[in-house]
Chain A
Amino acid sequence: MDFINHQLFIKDINVHIDPILPKKTAIITHGHADHARFGHDHVIATRQTIDIMKIRYGDKCAKKFTPLRYGQKYSIKNYDFTLYPAGHILGSAQVLIEKNNHRLVITGDYKVGKDETCKNFKLVKCDTLITEATFGLPIFQHPDPKDEIQKLIRSVKINKNNCHIVGAYALGKAQRVMNLLRQQKYNETIYIHGSLEKLCQYYSKEKINIGKFEKVSSKDKNFYEGKIIIAPPSALKDRWSRRFPNPIICMASGWMTVKQRAKQQGIELPLVISDHSDWNELLDTIKKSKAKNILITHGQEDALVYYCKKQNLVSKPLSIQGRSDEEIE
């Protein structure tokens, strides 16, 4: 595993995984902005990740694209690369790198729980596991998302004169919330912030059931009473949200586990819906991967490093630039 450095760079063949700055060859795990950037020469990723990058940054965001199917091997010199589903968002992938019989997996962002909006996580056995740790503390034990979405549906029923604005990341979380609402038989039109439109259209095109949606427009104020509106978290605080009648501010995020955090952000109805693994899922994945060497990328790495060492696993944190905690999508 000496072939890859703490910036996830393989010098030997000049390949980066999820680089922050423009590079020659970049393998991209998924479309979130802290992983997928503009301006690489050559992007290797799943077809869906490439589509998403083009939607977000334009068709020319890289000079060359190589789409890979899950499980399809791609070789550069004596390095073999294979992408496996990460269960994080549509198109998200883990990267398996094989060299001289050493198997190294970079999970990217991942979650183990079921999700109808993307292919479910596949466990890949390996010698070295580079895992994320966004929710790497034992306080994070994500509840069943169905129960969380029911809270929203119940609140909509009770508070008929209010509109509910749900903060959710534009890519992945927003569509997951919509899909969960559909699973729970909420069949009304869902209203979305303009910045979500293209991605929602893309999810629909990819046959993900997010149901009927419509961009918020300057309708009569009272029109939105009793409706659900989905918007990126940044829009919750600005003037955009003030146009709605008696809004109840909701947020769908794993961070909502902590009441104090919800309160700081002015969230009245926190929904603990996460696209990252919780503590137990992180531990389970580490165990089942059979890896003896655990490197931890971004998030709350201290507790996880401590835990791994206690299990006699070689473990250390990797501090990747540009990904500070709590800004992770």
Chain B
Amino acid sequence: MKKFSSLLHNLILTPSRNTKIKLLQDYFNKLDINRSYALAILSDQLSFQFIKASKLRELVYEQVDQHLFDYSYDYVGDLAETISLIWPTKKEGKSQNLSTLIENIKKIKKSEINTEFSKILSGLSNNERWTLIKICTGGLRIGVSERLVKTALADLYNKSVNEIEEIWHGLEFPYQNLFQWLKNETSKPKIDFKKLFHPMMLANPIDEEKDFKRLDANEFQAEYKWDGIRVQLMVSSKSVSLYSRTGDNISSAFPEIIETTKGDAVIDGELLVGRNFKPSGFNDLQQRLNRKKASKDLQNKFPVFIRAYDILFYKGKDLRKFSLLERRKYLEKFQKENKTNQIDLSSIINFSTWKELTKYKNNFHDDLNEGVMIKLKNSEYLPGRKKGYWYKWKKNPKLVDAILMYAQRGHGKRSSYYSDFTFGVWKESELVPIGKAYSGYTDKELLVLDKFIRNNTINKFGPVREVKKEIILEVAFDDVFTSTRHKSGVAMRFPRIHRIRWDKPVNEVLTISEFKKEFKLS
């Protein structure tokens, strides 16, 4: 555990990619059971069901005064680090192996979790405690991608990173077959590709100024970018399964898809809520997300369907090296052969110049798409966000001017700045908050806002500072809904700070009723 936690500590503090690779290689120089656990952790494939953030808070409140913890958490901005630092230092026990430690934790009975897990935390050094909490809560966020780990392993053992990438989703803990192959003790592990989730092909945002000058419109096709969740549907004569973009199996949440789909293929598409292939908006889709199961009632109220974009396999044939145009033919064939009420095709937009495409991007008759996707006609299906093949071109966001009301320190790497902003519009002579944003600004704007907040605080509510009502923020957002949960009666989707409006006086900001009128909310 000492070794692994100092690896993580060094990785998080090292800005250089090469040094990170070197650190990883020093660690994976040996391939033993501890490295199996390390690999599972670094690729986010290990988690403890019952030790989540809320449980950790409960444990730390047993050790330290709640207010003192909250002050500290507000300052540090990272739960794992706050707990690891504030935990009363007990006598450090003998350092345990990573593998032993994790197996010991897995053995803890649910009823004894509080005492047993606290005991383990007390026996660790600050850094080990930090590491263990990071492992438990998942998502290390140490600036190391899965890809980087694969690269380090490939270089160290003279393999190509693409070879590792290919078999990756077929590997399982403890990666015995991978390690043996890396050490040249066996040949490359054989994987049944049809059963596996295939990393999805993703698009890069288009740079309107540069890219449109550079790219030939005739070499691209466009489709609407639908506002649902990206899924991969795997169907064979034996089974049907549905995966999220991150490779999680979400089949049980969408039984209507699983029960009706036929054929033999792997399909890439967008999961949407709606009847007769008419999407009804992300708000409705949200009723179906984050649920493990869906009742009949829920299925009737919010039926889902898949709008298919692409096809990766057709009757066992790997199409990923085919061009997009060829794949589209297979996709149409698949759909014709297996017609259901749960799958339709994403339509192709005809255009011959980029200018022509602009009107499709912005003037689509309703709000249910987010813009357009622009895809190179002869692109292969490549995993990840490779440059030069697929682009997304988002609609211009909606904009509103609002007044900065409250601010709070950010979390993670922004934790020393006031970077979470609540803004509002007028309601008679008072302000009512309409949203909260923690992105969109430039580094320079952040510094200006941070300084303004420190010098113009008029009230403190715990970590929240109320500031003088002097700064107008132009807020960009994707959409706005009515909401009964918010005082203002509205809720924004993905609000971010577009710019600071130094030029506008605060009394020109809209009232809440003007705001609702402008964005067509009743």
Contacts and interface: CB of A to CB of B under 8 A. Distances in A.
A268 B22 CA distance: 15
Contact of B412 (A137, A260, A270): A260
Contacts of A259: 9, 12-13, 78, 81, 130
Given A262-B13, A267-B13, A303-B72, A139 B416 contact: no
Contact of A139 (B12, B14, B85): B85
A241 interface: no
A307 B77 contact: no
Contact of B416 (A264, A267, A303, A310): A264
B72 A138 contact: yes
A302 interface: yes
Contacts of A260: 76-78, 81, 412-413, 415
A138 B66 CA distance: 12
Contacts of B78: 259-260
Given A137-B71, A137-B75, A258 B81 contact: yes
B85 A306 contact: no
Contacts of A194: none
B15 A138 contact: no
B71 A302 contact: yes
A132 to B, nearest CB: 16
Interface in B440-499: 454
A31 B71 CA distance: 31
A270 B10 CA distance: 10
B130 A307 contact: no
A263 interface: yes
A186 B381 CA distance: 58
The interface centre, meaning the residue of A139, A268, A307 with most chain B CB atoms within 10 A of its CB, is A139
A310 B67 CA distance: 11
Given A260-B412, A260-B413, A268 B71 contact: no
Contacts of A269: 13
B82 interface: yes
Contact of A258 (B65, B67, B76): B76
A141 interface: yes
Given A139-B82, A141-B89, A300 B71 contact: yes
B108 interface: no
B171 interface: no
A80 to B, nearest CB: 37
Interface string B46-71: 00000000000000000011011101
A261 interface: yes
Interface in A273-311: 300, 302-303, 306-307, 310
A174 B12 CA distance: 26
30 contacts: A137-B75, A138-B64, A138-B69, A138-B72, A139-B75, A139-B82, A139-B85, A139-B86, A141-B85, A258-B75, A258-B81, A259-B130, A260-B78, A260-B412, A260-B415, A262-B13, A263-B12, A263-B13, A264-B415, A264-B416, A266-B15, A267-B13, A269-B13, A270-B13, A300-B75, A303-B72, A306-B71, A310-B65, A324-B454, A326-B416
Interface of B: 9, 12-15, 64-65, 67-69, 71-72, 75-78, 81-82, 85-86, 89, 130, 412-413, 415-416, 454
Nearest 6 CB-CB pairings of A with B: A139-B85, A303-B71, A139-B72, A137-B72, A139-B86, A268-B13
